[in-house]
Structure 1
Amino acid sequence: MTDLDRLLDFAARSRLPEGGFGYLGDDGRVRPERGQETWIVARMTHVFGLARLTGRGGWDELVRHGVEALAAGPLHDGGRGGWYASTADDTKAAYVHAFAVLAGATATAAGAPGGRELLDEALGVWQTRFWDDTAGLAVEEWDAGWARLSDYRGVNANMHGVEASLAAADALGDADPRAAQLRGQALRTLERVVHGWAREGDWRLPEHFTAEWQPLPGYNRDEPAHPFRPYGVTVGHQFEWSRLALHARAVTPDAPSWLLDDATGLFTAAASRGWAADGHDGFPYTLDWDDRPVVTARMHWVLCEAVAAAETLAAVTGDASYRRLAAHWWAHGEARFADPGTGSWRHELTPEGAVATGTWEGQPDAYHLAQVLLLRGRPVRGSVAAALL
Structure 2
Amino acid sequence: MARYDPYSFRGRLLATLRLQFPDALDPAGGFRLLDPERGEPDAGDRRHLVATCRSIANFAAGAVAGGPDWCIEATEHGIAFLESAHRADATDRSEGYRLVVESDGSPVDRTRSAYGHAFVLLAYARATAAGVDGAARGLDATVDLLDARFRDGTGCLRSDCGPDWVEREAYRGQNANMHACEAFLAAYEATGENAHLDRARRIAERLTVELAAETDGLLWEHYGADWTHDFGYNADEPRHRFRPPGYQPGHHVEWAKLCALLDRYDATAPAERESVPGSGDWYDRAVALFDAGVDLGWTDGGFAYTVERDGRVIVGDRYGWALAEGIGAAAALAERATRRGDGEAAGRFREWRERFVDRADAYRGPAGLWYEKRPLAGTGGDPVPPEPPGVEPDYHPASAYFESWRSGVR
Local SS of the residue matching 2:165: coil
The aligned counterpart of 2:243 is 229
The aligned counterpart of 2:20 is 11
In structure 2, relative to structure 1, the CA distance for the partners of 1:377 and 1:167 (3 Å cut) is closer
Looking at both structures, which has the greater relative contact order when contacts are Cα pairs under 8 Å and sequence separation is at least 6? Answer: 2
Please, which of 345, 351, 369 is the counterpart of residue 370 of structure 2? 345
Could you tell me which runs of 5 or more consecutive residues in structure 1 were left unpaired when the two chains were aligned: 174-178, 381-386
Aligned ranges 1:219-368 → 2 under 5 Å: 219-252=233-266, 255-256=269-270, 257-276=280-299, 281-318=301-338, 319=345, 320-334=347-361, 336-339=362-365, 341-350=366-375, 351-352=377-378, 354-357=381-384, 364-368=392-396
Could you tell me which runs of 5 or more consecutive residues in structure 2 were left unpaired when the two chains were aligned: 1-7, 102-107, 271-279, 339-344
Q: 2:35 touches 2:369 (CA, 8 Å); kept in 1?
A: no
Q: 1:183 touches 1:252 (CA, 8 Å); kept in 2?
A: no
Measure how far apart 1:337 and its partner are. 1.4
Percentage of matched positions with identical amino acids: 31
Measure how far apart 1:259 and its partner are. 1.2
| TM, length-normalised to structure 1 | 0.88
In structure 2, relative to structure 1, the CA distance for the partners of 1:337 and 1:253 (3 Å cut) is closer
Report the Cα distance in structure 1 between the residues aligned to 2:301 and 2:188, rounded to whole angstroms: 38
Local SS of the residue matching 1:295: strand
Measure how far apart 1:105 and its partner are. 0.7
Q: How many residues align?
A: 370
1:269-301 per-position Cα deviation (integer Å, ceiling 9, x unaligned): 11112112xxx7421111123311111111100
Which range moves more in the overlay, 319-328 or 348-357? 348-357
Report the Cα distance in structure 2 between the residues aligned to 1:337 and 1:183, rounded to whole angstroms: 33
Report the Cα distance in structure 1 between the residues aligned to 2:319 and 2:247, rounded to whole angstroms: 14
Report the Cα distance in structure 2 between the residues aligned to 1:123 and 1:71, rounded to whole angstroms: 16
Measure how far apart 1:356 and its partner are. 3.7
1:154-198 per-position Cα deviation (integer Å, ceiling 9, x unaligned): 01000000011111122223xxxxx22221121111111111233
Local SS of the residue matching 1:69: helix
Local SS of the residue matching 1:365: coil
Report the Cα distance in structure 1 between the residues aligned to 2:352 and 2:217, rounded to whole angstroms: 19
Q: 1:75 touches 1:85 (CA, 8 Å); kept in 2?
A: no
Please, which of 121, 130, 136 is the counterpart of residue 155 of structure 2? 136
Q: 1:206 touches 1:215 (CA, 8 Å); kept in 2?
A: yes
Counterpart residue identity of residue 370, structure 1: A
Local SS of the residue matching 2:287: helix
Counterpart residue identity of residue 271, structure 1: V
**1:65 and 2:77 equivalent?**
yes
In structure 2, relative to structure 1, the CA distance for the partners of 1:180 and 1:364 (3 Å cut) is closer
Local SS of the residue matching 2:303: coil
Give every structure 1 segment of 4 or more consecutive aligned residues whose post-TM-superposition deviation is greater than 6 Å.
Answer: none
The aligned counterpart of 2:128 is 108
In structure 2, relative to structure 1, the CA distance for the partners of 1:149 and 1:77 (3 Å cut) is farther
Q: 2:171 touches 2:225 (CA, 8 Å); kept in 1?
A: yes
Report the Cα distance in structure 2 between the residues aligned to 1:55 and 1:220, rounded to whole angstroms: 44
Q: 2:324 touches 2:397 (CA, 8 Å); kept in 1?
A: yes
In structure 2, relative to structure 1, the CA distance for the partners of 1:25 and 1:363 (3 Å cut) is farther
1:341-378 per-position Cα deviation (integer Å, ceiling 9, x unaligned): 32222221122474344985789421110111122153
**1:372 and 2:384 equivalent?**
no
The aligned counterpart of 2:5 is none
Measure how far apart 1:332 and its partner are. 1.6
The aligned counterpart of 1:383 is none
Q: 2:363 touches 2:371 (CA, 8 Å); kept in 1?
A: yes
The aligned counterpart of 1:176 is none
| TM, length-normalised to structure 2 | 0.84
Report the Cα distance in structure 2 between the residues aligned to 1:360 and 1:32, rounded to whole angstroms: 12
